[in-house]
Homo-oligomer: A and B are copies of this chain.
Amino acid sequence: MTTQRTQEVRERLLAAAAELIAERGWAGVSTRVLAERAGVGPGLVHYHFSSLRALLNEAALHAVTAVVQEGADRLAGATAREGLDLLLGALDAYTGGDPVSVLFTETYLAAGRDEELRRALTRLLADFRVLLTDWLRATGVPDPDATARVLAAAMDGLMLHRPLDPSLTAEAAVPVLRRLLTGAVEEY
């Protein structure tokens, strides 16, 4: 299959793009550095993708979706205790300076300037929020829907603030966050 090889090049370009967005910022990714990182000629970028913008959108959305999916899968059948460990784990895995955190923020920002990306991100976030809400409800948290929204936002906010506040560790934040889940976690 020739399609096999084509797919592999596409994926290498997408992976390189995700790396470079985090390193250099959305607007700092050029066709040439992208091609070099992916190990292909500069012309290939516009052979496999209609535009650099489209490539960046697809790369960011693909990477962000993968991370969210993994989190969602783990959360799916988790108990209250397991869910909290999951949160805590996420908090010190994504410190704000790591590529994944930066890519998230870059993507949020880019979504503000690209309608199509914004729509896709909105849908992704909504799907995840449904899962989070279900878990909160099952755990016995009072207002699961609003709590899920705020909790998701707070997690991203913590990643945004972490590089600017070295004392903002996961251990410091989790006891406070637990107050958001009042009533459900006193046994923890």
Interface residues of A (CB under 8 A from B): 25-28, 96-97, 102, 105-106, 108-109, 111-113, 118, 121-122, 125-126, 129, 143, 146-147, 149-150, 152-158, 160-165, 167-168, 172-173, 175-177, 179-180, 182
Contact = CB atoms under 8 A, between A and B. Distances in A.
When all copies of this chain in the complex are counted, the total is 2
Given A143-B175, A182-B179, A108 B165 contact: no
A143 B118 CA distance: 37
Contacts of A179: 179-180, 182
Contacts of A129: 165
B102 A105 contact: no
A157 B172 CA distance: 17
19 contacts: A96-B112, A105-B109, A109-B109, A118-B163, A118-B164, A126-B165, A150-B154, A150-B176, A153-B157, A153-B158, A153-B161, A153-B165, A153-B168, A156-B157, A157-B158, A157-B160, A160-B160, A179-B182, A182-B182
Of A106, A112, A176, which is in contact with the most chain B CB atoms at under 10 Å from its CB? A176
Which of A150, A155, A158 has the most B CB atoms < 10 Å from its CB?
A: A150
Contact of A172 (B108, B149, B176, B180): B149
Nearest to A162: B153
Contacts of A102: 109, 112
Contact of A154 (B112, B113, B153, B164): B153
Nearest to A148: B176
B157 A173 contact: no
A164 B25 contact: no
